[in-house]
Structure 1
């Protein structure tokens, strides 16, 4: 047994490993304590319940998946930015297969909202970066958007397509990029 108290980050690193190996539903306090080589009671000092541990693990996995810098790089076109997001997130999706769909079913109903909010937080960061990239793209047709088809609508559509491709473990997003090009240029 580890007599030195482990850190919260060390516990979350073990949680990420377990989620990667066995999925989120396999995460439990006893396994995490054993893997950290600490007493189960020590783990409860950091996380008062399994739901608290799972929520923290979900947040940690999202951070690992979306470890990229979400700011738009100067000179990128919107399709370049979308491809960059796809390529940046793809390794995390490979590391945590089925994470997008599995994490929300592991909670009691009151805890699902917290897990969903965590997921939406990361998606919102992606949307903000995509909106900035779209607004900065000097090649976009001046008539590409109007009151019935806004830039925000287009970013929402693009993000949905991007996430769908990632969840399907597609190796590229070339069809989505072509749809984007044909729509806005």
Structure 2
């Protein structure tokens, strides 16, 4: 058995793989240590508790699902961005079964401050990027956003619709695209 893992990222990569294979029950200090071929103490060198390991794994999964797109063009207009986000949500559901429902619902029901913080951080990052795209989209009609109806408010509406789609496992963005066209273009 190795005494040291190659890196924190290697531990997180292994944790993501365990989620893919066994769901969230597969991620604990012992199972991750065994899958990495290291001692339990080695995992504790990187994470001081199971909660810290799971929290870091959650952030790592969010990063994998919504990593910066290889094709920058998807961030140039709102419609392309929405299509990309729906594809990523579908990828996330296929790659990490139960992640969205377990993560969001589980952490909201538990008193897991770190998990809630990480979830809100990931959501805020997605919302911020969506706002940037909405503001930069050259096709958005002048005056679409006002003090009473801001890009941030519209991004929150879009994001709520996307979260609802994830819960329903419906990855067809056509309704959200039509709403966006009618309001912004």
TM-score tier, shorter chain, comes to 0.7 to 0.9
Q: Distance in 1 between matches of 2:130 and 2:110?
A: 33
Measured after TM superposition, the shift of residue 103 of structure 1 is: 2.4
Structure 1 residues 78-157: aligned runs within 5 Å: 78-103=78-103, 105=106, 109=111, 112-157=112-157
C-alpha distance in 1, partners of 2:171/2:93? 11
2:170 matched to which residue of 1? Answer: 170
TM-score, normalising length: structure 1? 0.84
Count of residues in Structure 1 that have an aligned counterpart in Structure 2: 183
Runs of at least 5 residues in structure 1 that lack an aligned partner in the other structure: none
Residues 28-60 of structure 1 show CA distances to partners (whole Å, capped at 9, x for unaligned) of 111111111222222222222111111111111
The structural deviation recorded for 1:11 is 1.3
Structure 2 unaligned residues grouped into runs of 5+: none
The offset of 1:65, in angstroms, is: 1.2
**How far apart are the structure 1 equivalents of 2:13 and 2:91?**
17
Task: Note the C-alpha offset of 1:71.
Answer: 10
In 1, the alpha carbon distance for the partners of 2:8 and 2:138 equals 45
d(CA) in 1 for partners of 2:134 and 2:141?
Answer: 11
1:82 positional shift: 1.3
- Answer yes or no: is 1:40 the counterpart of 2:40: yes
For 1:107-131, what per-residue CA distance to the aligned partner results, in whole angstroms no more than 9, with x for missing partners?
962xx22212212222222222221
Which residue of structure 1 aligns with residue 56 of structure 2?
56
Specify the alignment match of 1:15 in structure 2: 15
Superposition RMSD in Å: 2.6
1:15 positional shift: 0.6
Tell me, in whole angstroms, the C-alpha distance in 1 between the residues paired with 2:77 and 2:142. 15
**TM-score of the superposition, structure 2-length normalised?**
0.84
Corresponding residue of 1:67: 67
